[in-house]
Amino acid sequence: MSVRPGATVSAARRRTATIAALVALSALVAACSPSSSAPEAQSGPSSSASPTPDKPDVTITSNLPGAGTVHVDATVKLTAEQGAFDTVAVTTARGNKPLEGKLSDDKLTWVAADRLEPGTRYRIKAVAHDTHGRSLTENKTFRTDPLSLDQQTFPSIAPLQGETVGVGMPVIVTFDVAVTDKKAIEKHLHVTNTAGQKGAWHWISDHEVHWRPESYWKAGNDVTVNADINSIPAGNGVYGQLSRTTSFHVGDAMISKVNVQTHEMKVFRNGTLLRTIPISAGKPGFITRSGVKVIIEKFRHKRMDAATTGIKKSSPEYYNLANVEYAMRVTYSGEFLHAAPWSVGTQGSQNTSHGCVGMSTENAKWLFDLSRRGDVVEVTGSDRHMTLTNGYGDWNESFTDWRQGSALS
């Protein structure tokens, strides 16, 4: 069979086109196949990269203001919501002194057990987790109000730490800056004792408060006084400057009973009569006060100047004795028990003093050596009466009346 020239050329062109197509296809397949020498295209993150963690659900809030300083009487409280605390630490920014606190059993709240100090910056670091175990750390700082010394009141306590006192000694707390919010302060004044004696506070003034048991202390009692007033409001923008605690011991029950009419003093120790002493008490115009007195202080030698009791130097009653021995003060107004060798001739029979109880030097030394602050002197026989504030006059009110002097009564 013969072939037409045109048909032969067409077939050849088709073969050429087919070969070209195969070459092109081969090149395209090669371009799409991975090559050990060619880097892969990085169009996104690798499938092996860790996913971004979710934000924890737990939140930490506090009762602190969002701005400004914090009052020193504030109690810091932190709360974990939708989770629970792992740790909470609140410290001063300087010195890292901890603010003690307590985490609740369910670990949802933390409440400070200590009160804040004035003008101090605090740092909070709290760590909490949510129900999925995801953790949150909260860091926060705050500053407390600064206070001047005139805005803080300092408590002084008597008796002193470790002192042994008599059975009539009251607990005395004095404040250098006036207390006008007496209720707030008194709530933080506490007295405990090993004998379990009950008592009450009585405010003498804005600067002084006393505590006494219903009856005299029991001999051998141990007493602790806690004035826990640091940062407690005392009124008029004043706060307690710091808290103080002291403990003292009650010694023997030394009670001296003075009768200004019979001119004698009977001295008892723990209920036993030790000695009856002839005395000379206050003469007319200077009558010794009747009532319960307590030894305030003791002096081996004491200058006694009548001017301190209001007697003028021009008065015939004026005196100025430089070396009175064995003197024990029982009133602020100037009554003492002391040696009076100049009146031995009238002791036991006549009252010749300016209000003091005088005795022989021998008897005065004997009593002085046995006595201590807080011992009781009970005076009878005159119509001039002891007052509550003229010394430690606490026992001259019934306990019912005494309790009315408490701000919490």
Whether 32 is a known active-site residue: answer: no
DSSP H or E run through 10: helix 5-32
Q: Any idea what DSSP says for residue 390?
A: T
Q: Which residues of 129-148 are buried (b: 16+ CB within 10 A; e: fewer)?
A: bbeeeeebebeeebebbebe
Q: Which regions of 183-242 does DSSP assign to beta strands (E)?
A: 189-193, 199-205, 208-213, 222-227, 233-235, 238-240
Whether 190 is a known active-site residue: answer: no
CA dist list (Å): 343 to 131, 269, 279, 347, 369: 90, 27, 9, 6, 21
Q: What is the dihedral of CA 228, 232, 236, 241, to 10 degrees?
A: 60
Instruction: Round to whole Å and give the CA distance between 203 and 218.
Output: 23
Maximum Cα–Cα distance for the chain, whole Å?
184
Q: What is the dihedral of CA 323, 328, 330, 336, to 10 degrees?
A: -40
Pick the catalytic residue: 210, 263, 354, 356? 356
Which of 300, 304, 298, 311 is closest to 377 using CA atoms? Answer: 298
Pick the catalytic residue: 71, 338, 354, 385? 338
Instruction: Please give the positions annotated as active site.
Output: 338, 356
